[in-house]
Amino acid sequence: MSETVILWLRRDLRLADHPALARARRGAERLVPLYIDATAEEGDWRPGAASRWWLHHSLAALDRDLRRRGSGLVIARGADSLGALRRIATACGATRVCWGRRYEPAARAADARTELQLRADGLRCEVVAGNLLFEPWDLATEANGPYRVFSAYWRRAVARLAVPELIPAPEALPPLPPGLSGLPIDALGLLPRSRWDAGLARAWTPGEAGALARARAFVDGPLAAYGQRRDLPAMSGTSRLSPHLHFGEIGPRQLVRMIAERGLPLDDGPAEPYVRELGWREFAHHLIHHFPHTTDAPLDGRFADFPWQDDAAQLAAWQQGRTGIPLIDAGLRELWATGWMHNRVRMAAASLLTKNLRLPWQAGARWFWATLVDADLASNTLGWQWTAGCGADAAPYFRIFNPVRQGERFDPDGDYVRRWCPELARLPARFIHQPWAAPANVLAEAGVRLDSDYPRPIVDLAASRRAALAAWETIKGRA
């Protein structure tokens, strides 16, 4: 029996290897690819400005791809998704709704309520996986509980990891129901009013075509040396696929398939470190499913009583890349300009905030959420709690990154710092990561005036390390 089917799109803005799309096409005479702007369902974690910029361009790219196949993207908005789904279903006579799962706590609860009401309305609902290698409940410990240590989780996962058969992108799609229309993308107001986004536009190509091009370039190039270069922020050694993965413009199954088609094993050799990073993303979703409170509260309950500091001036200096510590400032400036920060620098920046400045990890998580194009609640939560020492498989609290040593080790010539802190560009490599230690004549020759051109450090690294360890002593013995 032919019917009209709604394909409810969220974090799966692609056409290739799209299980919900494949399910929706079965028996569909008319198909309604639908995106609903209902950010209230995100709870306290509504998308930040950088994510909204990406979403605008991703939706536009998807609409173009759909139109080339005889369809188009219908856009709606509302206080919640249910009202829009009901309205569209009534307008086009839809009998079935298909969608891919979301995993964030507030979104998951909203989806459950929506499904219940749609079924009560008489609509058939088909909910499928699609953006993970494993569903968060697929893997369990021997005691049938959730994992809290990545190494154990990944051993179980990689033993089950197989090269997937992908669903090809359709060459044509059923048409939209006649007379059905939605909002223009611009009506969602996703782009910034003051156009600060030029750096994002130079750095990224949102959409499925951009995702596939970046993935192919990575697998054919930097993947071979990923294990050696991924920690070097001045080099193009990482995939930079995280925003594409977050918005579902490409899925991890596709990446695994691409790697396998190059003849590379998944659990050994040059591809293994990158496949393991995909596993870290899986682990993040495993954790947020089983421990939903961790978006705002520490998994390690002892940290609920940690003596965090409250210093708005220091937080602002960190956010603005004005800490006086070059590696950290370079990272925060890269973030502001491009919506992305190299992962090694993310760890160093998070360590400085939560340990040397002793500001709460939630403040850093919120800033990343607002400024990252790859802001993903599961990964953001895991990353910040890992560095702060209060999450699953966390770095011990007493592991405090020294940002000078990190810079000297991973940016030895200072190329990364020179790019993002051009006022330091003429300093010799010996002093590029600690300009305060340079003799006056070296500073003068480099044209650097501390406190004028570039600030002195806002914190003493050695003294603040001792203070952080003393703070840890106040809670470490608690149950």
Q: In this structure, how many other beta carbons lie within 10 angstroms of the beta carbon of residue 312?
A: 9
Q: Which of 8, 99, 369, 384 is catalytic?
A: 384
Phi, psi of 447 (to 5 degrees): 70, 30
Q: Which residues are paired to 63 by β-bridges?
A: none
Catalytic residue among 135, 280, 402, 408: 280
Answer yes or no: 420 catalytic: no
The answer to whether residue 361 is catalytic is yes
Asked if residue 371 lies in contact with residue 49, where contact means CB atoms within 8 angstroms, the answer is yes
Active-site residue, selected from the candidate residues 54, 361, 386, 420: 361
**Global pTM?**
0.96
- The end-to-end CA distance of the chain, in Å, is 61
Number of helices followed by number of strands (H, E) in the chain: 21, 5
Q: From first to last of the 479 residues of the chain, give the pLDDT tens digit.
A: 579 999 999 999 999 999 999 999 999 999 999 999 998 888 889 999 999 999 999 999 999 999 999 999 999 998 899 999 999 999 999 999 999 999 999 999 999 999 999 999 999 999 999 799 999 999 999 999 999 999 999 999 999 999 999 999 999 999 999 999 899 999 999 999 888 999 999 999 999 999 999 999 999 999 999 999 999 999 999 999 999 999 999 999 999 999 999 999 999 999 999 999 999 999 999 999 999 999 999 999 999 999 999 999 999 999 999 999 999 999 999 999 999 999 999 999 999 999 999 999 999 999 999 999 999 999 999 999 999 999 987 667 778 999 999 999 999 999 999 999 999 999 999 999 999 999 999 999 999 999 999 999 999 999 999 999 999 999 987 76
Identify whether 308 is a catalytic site residue: yes
Cα–Cα distance for residue pair 348/402, rounded to 1 Å:
8
Active site (annotated) includes residue 45: no
Comma-separated ranges of CATH 1.10.579.10 domains in the chain: 301-473
Q: What is the DSSP code (8-state) at residue 30? A: E
Catalytic residue, chosen from 126, 277, 408, 423, is: 277
CATH code given to domain 301-473? 1.10.579.10
In the chain, CATH 1.25.40.80 covers: 131-167+206-290
Domain 131-167+206-290, architecture per CATH: Alpha Horseshoe (1.25)
Determine how many CB atoms are found less than 10 A away from the CB of residue 165. 8
| Per-residue CA distances from 103 to 140, 222, 329, 439 (Å) | 17, 31, 33, 53
Beta bridge mates, 58: none
- CATH architecture under which domain 3-130 falls: 3-Layer(aba) Sandwich (3.40)
Q: In what order do the strands lie in the sheet with 124-128?
A: 74-77, 28-37, 3-9, 96-100, 124-128
pLDDT of residue 479: 61
User: Catalytic: which of 3, 343, 402, 436?
Assistant: 343
